[in-house]
Amino acid sequence: MAQQVTGQAGQPGGALNVVGRRGPNIDAIDRVTGQAKYTADIELPGMLTARILRSPHAHARVVRIDTSKAEALGGVLSVITYRDAPKVMIWGSRQYVLNDRVRFAGEAVAAVAAVDADTAARALKLISVEYEPLPFVLDPEAALAAGAPQLFEDGNLEGQPRVVNRGDIEQGLKESDHVIARTYRCPTMWSGSLEPHAVVAQWENDRVTLWCSTQSPFRVHANMVAQLGLPDSHIRIIASYVGGGFGTKSAPHVDETIAALLARKARRPVSLRYSREEEILDSNTRFEVKMYIRMGVKKDMTLHALDIRAFINQGAYHTRLGGLGNHATHLYNVPHLRTVQNRVHTNVPNTGPTRGVGDPQECFGLDSAIDEIAVEMGWDPMAFRLKNIKRNGDPIPRAAGGAEDGRLVTQALDRCIEAGASRIEWTRRNQAPNTAQAGPIRRGMGMACTERTGGGGLSGAQVKVFLDGSVIVFYSSTDIGTGSRTTLSMIAAEVLGIPLKSFRTVAGDTEAAPWDGGSQGNRTLQGTGRAVEAAARDALRQILAGAAPLLKATPEELELVGGSIRVKTETARTMTLQQVMERRGRSVVGDGSIAQGQQGTDVERTSAAHFVELDVDTETGKVTVIKYVSVHDVGRPINVTIVENQIEGGTIQGLALTRSEEMRFDPRNGRTLNANFLDLMPPTMMDFDPRAIEAVIIPNEGLAGPFGGKGLGENPCHPGMAAVANAIYNATGIRLREVPFTRGAILRALNDQRPAASRTA
Amino acid sequence: MENFSYSRPATLRDATAQLGKEHGRVAIIAGGTDLLGEMKDELAAPARLVPVRHLREMQGVRTVGAGLRIGAATPLVDVVENRAVQEQAPLLAMAAVKVGTPAIRNMGTIGGNICQRPRCWYYRNNYPCFKHGGSACFSALGENDFHAILEGGPSFIVHPSDTAPALVALGASARIAGPGGRERIVPLDAFFVTPRQDVRRENVLQPDEILVELQVPNAPAGSRATYVKEMVRETWNFALCSVAAMVTLSNGVVSDVRIVMGGVAPVPYRALKAEAAIRGQRLTETTAAAAGAAAVEGARPLAKNGYKVPLTQATVKRALLSLA
């Protein structure tokens, strides 16, 4: 992938001193000892506590809202309703921060700031709201039917259906030797983080600082500019330590603006912290996807036609970051392709990007169908994939779309598949279901493949070298637990030749660091990492220029190695960095602002193959993962430990989607019934033995990222649902086309499979 | 959470004197692991809390005669770790260790565990259901994956306790104190009430009564017991179904047996038909499976909880086989 990068490109292939090693996070001690300050740790003099009043109705008009009693309560300093809120839609959404019409149960209706949480809670009870309930709809297909309740004047469909065409789908299906038609569904699922959303807002005259738990400070910043109508220089977003994000913090929500409005009205700082229930109802959830898939193959084992008609439940307001991934267009070669994505608004809580966005759902549908058709044809599903995956040099779309106007480079999916098959010993796999059994236990194997873009766009960072030779890396994307403080410091350390122990970071601060797209979509390493590299090169250039007269050499003749500057050809002529900096008498600031994007025809992607071996207890419906091998192309790993942790964590998150985490709505009123950890039942450390998970990194070198690295974070949670569904089939012969694979789903399917006479329920 | 007063009674008699005749107005608090959650979620709004953890009669495990006396306010962790419990009623220790998480077992008490309120989503979301004094069970036609397959109706809650099935299987009794020093002893199989008996409550405790102590006879000499709990995840979960089973074998034949199930009925459900099926039999795959089938005889699953029938069947079978 060609790209515009200010500053030099990396030096892949050169001798590396820091990059490619293992090591702990540089902020690990701060995090575990409580020195790391999260938003909830911020305490300011006179700070108030905010609470939000939420709608009990899935769809209603606010006919009347009376806040006078709440305002009269002692200790209440500000109350806001839709009358105080800007008529400006939130970035990436159709939602006003507060509105006189609510479209999901749990939507904010009013907010209060008071001297303490109890007073704020009492004030909420004193707000009287008269609602006119409206008909609601929860199912995306039902929402498109004639006569369905309408959420918006232009209907429930977000924009136009996204349609991709390649070849002629009907002709392709007709030409196929075998065709299957299947329906797959992933429901609305929780996919959030341990730290709920939190904001602290503080005004100084007409300038506001917001400490936020966000992945994308500059997205929040852009939203605040729009919401508050202030110049961009008047708004500062600080997201220093963030307790996980998984996409739910990649876009702004109502919370930042509500805190800012309350603080402005009260003339005091305001802290707003979501409860767990609020976090589940009003951040964003993994969107429901229903897929109707038709797939055709030729006898020669080629995938010939693929038709996906998808209904994506966007929830009430979400507009921007939904939809399927690019598996259909970018993973397998298929001459006749059509995908139609209907992105539909319904009265379920806000959805949005969560780890993998639509990739896990699309992967579940597509790689389940791949497995199904291979089984029906009597082919090994792995051989079928190897026959049809896109390999280096294969035509591939340069952007999201059907036209294959580019050429795939630096791909390693074939090697991922081969390595995974070898690690799990795919040859041991059942030739037919129910062949490996001991009593009621059935063992089986499954696999699935995935791919994604590595992210890019606009990124920025600065590297400041102090007189003592220590360094701070300033960047305004974030470390949401992905280890970016460490990885980015390692990149700068590699460039500068300064030991890693001399590095600190300032992350997530829009005032301290240049503009950056944020930490989502595999982009922190590939985008911000390149910006840090450029900034470090800029700093190095200045340091060497400063050292040149001192060492009586030209800058080109010098190098910085191990914290010392020396003449390359005469290494005894040397000064320490500290000596040079002290003689220089002022710090060095290197700047790195870059733009990355698809240029030319070379297309780089990042891919993975996952393999699972599991047991299904056919009497209790329990699934136990015996072994899970996650093989990833990450380009060159910058910190091997961090990469392995990302792979393991994402794998477990993918497995979690197979087990529980479905949000359940009351069909009678649209309310979420299980918005807490006890009833959503996310798995714990007890559920998936980490020793059963093997993270494998395929040696490779990318083009777009620093030192040949590729973005990784999203991918590990994509294939779990498909791999597990395929393994459950291989074990038992039951095909689960809806997640999660609960005890109920498994026992029901097993029971349906038995002869009627022996059924038990 | 609503404001409440907190008055620490000096004696058990003081405590009962404070309770009054109205359900819900005064609440007894021991570990508070269920009650405080209910108060925060505004499912309960007692005007007064009466703490009982400090009352001597309600604390600790003692051996008296051929049995144990366990103060109702004894933390679950102390039940789990108590040597006398492990030796004289191991089934109870096995069940108590399955409750919640270590944090919950440190705070939660055995009395609270058997008196905890239902986990039904509708109840916990404050729907006007039978349990809240309303006139409907929303689960019957709603989301009922986790509801009763046995003894359900008109409410379809399941009893969530892990220790209750074990205590019923052990033949334990509840010592209950009322006002004015009045006391009564109620066998646990009469302590829990079905929705048909009292749709709002899960046990016989009157508003002015306190569960003081559990009286647990020693497990029969030579008996073997197990507690098996099936969950969605491996910890911090209420049972999809659980089985407390205790058998005595004479010459390889089951001479005495108790099978009590949790998570499948509004009360800890004693599976008398399963007991009858296995009594006098050797414990084999066939006889245990027959007992499993007998355990769910009469089950009437709702739309989404049919899986509990085969699951319970298998769990009973396995619990029995593990005792062979």
Q: Tell me the two tokens of residue B207.
A: 């508003």
Residue B230 falls inside a structural domain: yes
Q: Tell me the pLDDT band of A213, cut-offs 50, 70 and 90.
A: very high
Q: What are phi and psi of A640, to 5 degrees?
A: -60, -40
Residues of A in contact with B318 (CB under 8 A): 619
Dist. CA A474–CA A175, nearest whole Å: 57
pLDDT in tens, A556-575: 999 999 999 999 999 999 99
Question: According to the model, what pLDDT value does residue A275 have?
Answer: 96
Residues of B in contact with A744 (CB under 8 A): 145, 304-307
Q: Kindly tell me if the per-residue pLDDT of A6 is higher than 80.
A: no
Number of independent structural domains in chain B: 3
Residue that terminates a domain, selected from B176, B196, B217? B217
Residue type, A362: E
Residue type, A218: F
The CB-side HSE value for A210 (13 A sphere, CA atoms) comes to 34
Dist. CA A397–CA A216, nearest whole Å: 28
Q: Tell me the two tokens of residue B185.
A: 């002893």
Residues B74, B172, single domain; the answer is: yes
Q: What is the DSSP letter of A709?
A: B
The kind and range of the H/E element at A603 are strand A602-604
Q: Kindly tell me if the per-residue pLDDT of A52 is higher than 50.
A: yes
Query: What is the share, in percent, of chain A residues with pLDDT greater than 90?
Result: 93
Name every residue whose Cβ is closer than 8 Å to that of residue B172 and which is 6 or more positions away in sequence: B187, B188, B214, B215, B216, B217
Dist. CA A107–CA A254, nearest whole Å: 9
Nearest CA in chain A to B124: A673
Residues of A in contact with B235 (CB under 8 A): 684, 686
Omega cis (within 30) before B154: yes
Residue type, B38: E
Whole-Å CA distances, B266 to A391, B312, B316: 59, 15, 18
Mutate which: B97, B284, B311, B322, vs A, most A CBs within 10 A: B311
Question: According to the model, what pLDDT value does residue A753 have?
Answer: 78
Say how far residue B24 (Cα) sits from the centre of its chain: 20
Residues B62, B180, single domain; the answer is: yes
Dist. CA B28–CA B18, nearest whole Å: 10
Question: According to the model, what pLDDT value does residue A191 have?
Answer: 87
Cβ of residue B224 closer than 8 Å to a chain A Cβ: no
Question: According to the model, what pLDDT value does residue A754 have?
Answer: 67
Residues of B in contact with A440 (CB under 8 A): 314
DSSP string, A416-479: HHHHHHHHHTGGGS-SSTT-SEETTEEEEEEEEEEEE----EEEEEEEEE-TTS-EEEEESS--
**Is-same-fold flag (A2-36+455-599; A410-451+606-761)?**
yes
From A590's Cα to the closest Cα of chain B, the distance in A is: 50
Q: What are phi and psi of A707, to 5 degrees?
A: 50, 30
The CATH number of A410-451+606-761 is 3.30.365.10
Q: Domain ranges in chain A?
A: 2-36+455-599, 410-451+606-761
- Contact: B143, A620; criterion CB under 8 Å: no
Q: Tell me the pLDDT band of A690, cut-offs 50, 70 and 90.
A: confident
Residues B30, B67, single domain; the answer is: no
Dist. CA A480–CA A485, nearest whole Å: 10
Q: Tell me the two tokens of residue A730.
A: 């291989």
Q: What are phi and psi of A612, to 5 degrees?
A: -135, 140
Whole-Å CA distances, A701 to A411, A486, A633, A708, B308: 9, 20, 9, 5, 51
Q: Kindly tell me if the per-residue pLDDT of A12 is higher than 50.
A: no
Q: Kindly tell me if the per-residue pLDDT of A435 is higher than 90.
A: no
Q: Do residues A692 and A407 make contact, with C-beta atoms less than 8 angstroms apart? A: no
Question: According to the model, what pLDDT value does residue A8 have?
Answer: 35
Helix, strand, or coil (residue B267): coil
Residue B121 falls inside a structural domain: no
pLDDT in tens, A371-395: 999 999 999 999 999 999 999 999 9
CATH number at residue B110: 3.30.465.10
Q: Do residues A398 and A598 make contact, with C-beta atoms less than 8 angstroms apart? A: yes
Please choose, from the candidates B160, B159, B171, the residue with its C-alpha nearest in 3D space to the C-alpha of residue B258: B171
DSSP string, A379-422: --HHHHHHHHB--TT-EE-SSSSS---EEEES--HHHHHHHHHH
Q: Tell me the pLDDT band of A761, cut-offs 50, 70 and 90.
A: very low
Q: Tell me the two tokens of residue A680.
A: 């959503």
**pLDDT (average), residues A39-44:** 97
ipTM passes above 0.90: yes
CATH number at residue B42: 3.30.43.10
Instruction: Name A186's bridge partners.
Output: A289
Residues B191, B105, single domain; the answer is: yes
Residues B203, B284, single domain; the answer is: no
- Contact: A681, B232; criterion CB under 8 Å: yes
The kind and range of the H/E element at B90 are helix B90-96
The kind and range of the H/E element at B310 are helix B308-321
pLDDT in tens, B93-122: 999 999 999 999 999 999 999 999 999 999
Residues B177, B266, single domain; the answer is: no
Q: What is the DSSP letter of A73?
A: S
Residues B70, B212, single domain; the answer is: yes
Residues B187, B104, single domain; the answer is: yes
Residue B22 falls inside a structural domain: yes
Instruction: Name B183's bridge partners.
Output: B177
Question: According to the model, what pLDDT value does residue A14 have?
Answer: 60
Mutate which: A119, A678, A685, A748, vs B, most B CBs within 10 A: A678
Q: Strand order of the sheet with strand A693-697?
A: A437-438, A441-452, A606-617, A623-632, A693-697
Residue B270 falls inside a structural domain: yes
Residues B195, B236, single domain; the answer is: no
Q: Do residues A249 and A213 make contact, with C-beta atoms less than 8 angstroms apart? A: yes
DSSP string, B146-159: TS-SSS--S-----
Dist. CA A62–CA B186, nearest whole Å: 53
- Contact: A743, B307; criterion CB under 8 Å: yes
Maximum Cα–Cα distance across chain B: 62
DSSP string, B191-246: HB--TTT-SS-SB---TT-EEEEEEEEPPPTTEEEEEEEE-SSSSS---SEEEEEE
Residue B138 falls inside a structural domain: no
Whole-Å CA distances, A715 to A354, A606, A642: 12, 8, 14
Instruction: Name A289's bridge partners.
Output: A186, A312
Residue B131 falls inside a structural domain: no
Residues B48, B62, single domain; the answer is: no
Residue B98 falls inside a structural domain: yes
Using CA atoms of B231, B232, B235, B239 in order, give the dihedral in degrees to the nearest 10: -30
Cβ of residue B298 closer than 8 Å to a chain A Cβ: no
Q: Tell me the pLDDT band of A271, cut-offs 50, 70 and 90.
A: very high
Taking any CB pair shorter than 8 Å as contact, residues of chain A touching chain B are: 118, 121, 440, 619-622, 659-660, 664, 666-668, 671, 673-674, 678-679, 681-684, 686-687, 742-744, 746-748, 751, 760-761
Dihedral class, residue A169 (left if φ above 0, else alpha if ψ from -120 to 50, else beta): alpha
Q: Tell me the pLDDT band of A755, cut-offs 50, 70 and 90.
A: low
Q: Do residues A558 and A566 make contact, with C-beta atoms less than 8 angstroms apart? A: yes
Residue that terminates a domain, selected from B188, B217, B246? B217
Higher pLDDT, B23 or A208: A208
Q: Tell me the pLDDT band of A11, cut-offs 50, 70 and 90.
A: very low
Q: Kindly tell me if the per-residue pLDDT of A743 is higher than 60.
A: yes
Residues B207, B63, single domain; the answer is: yes
Q: Do residues A640 and A21 make contact, with C-beta atoms less than 8 angstroms apart? A: yes
Q: How far apart are the first and last CA of chain B?
A: 51
Range of the domain at B279: 223-321
Q: Kindly tell me if the per-residue pLDDT of A718 is higher than 80.
A: yes
A-B CB pairs within 8 A amount to 85
Q: What are phi and psi of A544, to 5 degrees?
A: -65, -35
Q: Do residues B165 and B95 make contact, with C-beta atoms less than 8 angstroms apart? A: yes
Dist. CA A173–CA A337, nearest whole Å: 10
The CATH number of A2-36+455-599 is 3.30.365.10
* Among the partner residues A621, A687, A744, nearest to B145 by beta-carbon distance: A744
Q: Kindly tell me if the per-residue pLDDT of A3 is higher than 50.
A: no
Cβ of residue B95 closer than 8 Å to a chain A Cβ: no
Cβ of residue B305 closer than 8 Å to a chain A Cβ: yes
Residues B21, B97, single domain; the answer is: no
- Contact: B143, A668; criterion CB under 8 Å: no
- Contact: B235, A683; criterion CB under 8 Å: no
Dist. CA A341–CA B7, nearest whole Å: 62
Residue B30 falls inside a structural domain: yes
Q: Is A714 a catalytic residue?
A: yes
Q: What is the DSSP letter of B28?
A: E
- Chain B segment 6-45 residues within 8 A of A by beta carbon are none
Say how far residue A505 (Cα) sits from the centre of its chain: 22
Q: Tell me the two tokens of residue A39.
A: 């938003």
Question: According to the model, what pLDDT value does residue A123 have?
Answer: 98
Helix, strand, or coil (residue B32): coil
Q: What are phi and psi of A173, to 5 degrees?
A: -65, -40
CATH number at residue B259: 3.30.390.50
Q: What is the DSSP letter of B279?
A: T
Q: What are phi and psi of B124, to 5 degrees?
A: -70, -20
Mutate which: A119, A673, A741, A754, vs B, most B CBs within 10 A: A673
Say how far residue A419 (Cα) sits from the centre of its chain: 26
CB atoms within 10 A of CB A264: 18
Say how far residue B243 (Cα) sits from the centre of its chain: 12
Dist. CA A289–CA A86, nearest whole Å: 32
What stretches in chain B show pLDDT beneath 70?
Answer: none
